[in-house]
Amino acid sequence: MHSLDNIPKENNFKTPNNYINNLSQEIINKIEYEESKNKTSFFQYIKPYIYLIASMIILILAIKFGLNKLVKDKTIIKHKIEINENPKEK
């Protein structure tokens, strides 16, 4: 079997030069970049409301013109009341 004594005892993990000195500035730069990337424009803020208003207008127009078409074509079912002109006499 191999023994661990034969493995050289040296540190193979190294950090780049000035890593600790530049670390805080690199973190700040990344945070500023992410914040600038996530800014929402005015249009992005009002876009859901524009879609809501547009859908309401479409719905109102569809109901208005749809009902007008039904009334003009007389396709609405009308209930007829039958009147008996010759009632049975008692």
Convert the pLDDT of each residue in 2-50 to its tens digit.
777 787 788 878 888 888 888 888 899 999 888 887 777 888 889 999 9
How far is 56 from 63, CA to CA, in rounded Å? 11
The predicted pLDDT at position 41 comes to 82
pTM of the predicted structure, to 2 decimals: 0.40
Please say whether the beta carbons of 70 and 76 come within 8 A: yes
Please give the C-alpha separations between residue 9 and each of 2, 4, 5, 25, 67, in angstroms, as whole numbers: 15, 10, 9, 34, 89
The predicted pLDDT at position 37 comes to 78
How far is 73 from 66, CA to CA, in rounded Å? 11
pLDDT digits (tens, 9 = 90+) for 49-65: 999 999 999 999 988 88
The predicted pLDDT at position 88 comes to 64
Domain ranges (residues) in the chain = 40-80
Local structure of residue 88 (DSSP, 8 states) = P
